Amino acid sequence: MSALVLENVNVDFPIYGAQRSFRKALFERATGGFVQRDAKKNDRVVVKALTDITFTLNDGDRLGLVGHNGAGKSTLLRVLAGVYQPVSGRLLVDGDITPLFDTLPGLDPEDTGYENIITAGLLFGLSRERIETIIPDVEQFSELGEYMGLPIRTYSSGMVLRLGFAFATAMHPGILLMDEGIGAGDARFAERAAKRMEEFIGRSRIVVLASHSNHLIRSMCNKAALMESGHIRAIGNVDDILKQYDELVHRA
């Protein structure tokens, strides 16, 4: 059993030393979170990136987050991953979180592919023995061959991506968090990656995916939430939410 429970979760980003022209631009912007003046400090504005976020996800829930740029989708994923702490509200996570963001955690360009996999595994709380068992899978899927033993500063960006993807998808995800799916390198790798991704998602108990692709949301999710300026405007069935988002975009 896994569960994610959020009750009135709020996240603020205070911005110090905002110049007058920048503050004016922030207040006039069409995208982003809700921006508030700080009553006490004149040179400070507060971006209310998430306001009163409340929802519960249980086993089998695959939630797609949709909304304009700066609506709060990535911030919400990062709160779920424990990267940002809410300023108020309650967050209950029951299950192992696997964040599948753009890169490996703790990535060091001077370390080899193998060393980076070990660091990332330890950061994910895996035992040495468990890491040893996933290394052959990472070697085989990434097809990096001899490069696995070289510092990753010698890799192309697509090769780093292969390593990160092969590692992340070798895990057994409880609660899977994804930003925009993940880029997948060259055409042949992209095809293999799509298949592996499908199996990987199938193994996870809960998925939260932030994406601007309706196609991705439809193919991976069974629920969706429409975010606007840090709020959840609506949550429910994927088709209904995508329709509401489309109406919102065309009203703007």
Ligand X SMILES: Nc1ncnc2c1ncn2[C@@H]1O[C@H](COP(=O)(O)OP(=O)(O)OP(=O)(O)O)[C@@H](O)[C@H]1O
Q: What does the binding site for ligand X look like in residue numbers (CB under 6 A)? A: 13, 32-33, 47, 49, 67, 69-75, 210
Rank residues 86 and 151 by Cβ distance to ligand X and give the closer one. Answer: 86
Instruction: Please tell me the distance from the alpha carbon of residue 75 to that of residue 83, in angstroms, as a whole number.
Output: 9
215 token code pair: 């196609």
Q: DSSP state, 204? A: -
Q: Which residues contact 122 (CB under 8 A, 6 or more apart)?
A: 131
Q: Beta-carbon neighbour count of residue 200 at 10 Å?
A: 22
Q: How far apart are CA 29 and CA 145, in angstroms?
A: 48
Of 46 and 176, CB closest to ligand X: 46
Minimum distance between the CB of residue 115 and ligand X, rounded to whole angstroms? 29
For ligand X, the closer CB: 72 or 121: 72
Residue 139 vs 228, nearer CB to ligand X: 228
Q: Which of 148, 152, 150 is nearest to 109 (CA)?
A: 152
Closest separation between CB of residue 180 and ligand X, Å? 8
At 239, list the tokens.
């088709």
> At closest approach, how far in Å is the CB of 205 from ligand X?
24
111 vs 180, beta carbon nearer ligand X? 180
In the complex, least distance from residue 93 CB atom to ligand X, rounded to whole angstroms: 19
Q: Which is nearer to ligand X, 72 or 164 (CB)?
A: 72
Q: In angstroms, what is the minimal distance from the CB of 226 to ligand X?
A: 11
- Cβ contacts of residue 26 below 8 Å, gap of 6+? 18, 32, 35, 45, 47
Give dist(CA 47, CA 25) in Å, integer.
13
Nearer to ligand X among residue 70 and residue 164 (C-beta): 70
Closest separation in Å from C-beta 248 to ligand X: 14
Residue burial 141-167, b: 16+ Cβ < 10 Å; e: rest: bbebeebbeeebeebeeebbbbbbbbb
The DSSP code for 112 is B
- Find out whether 225 and 232 touch, Cβ atoms under 8 Å: yes
Distance in Å, CB of 190 to ligand X, minimum: 21
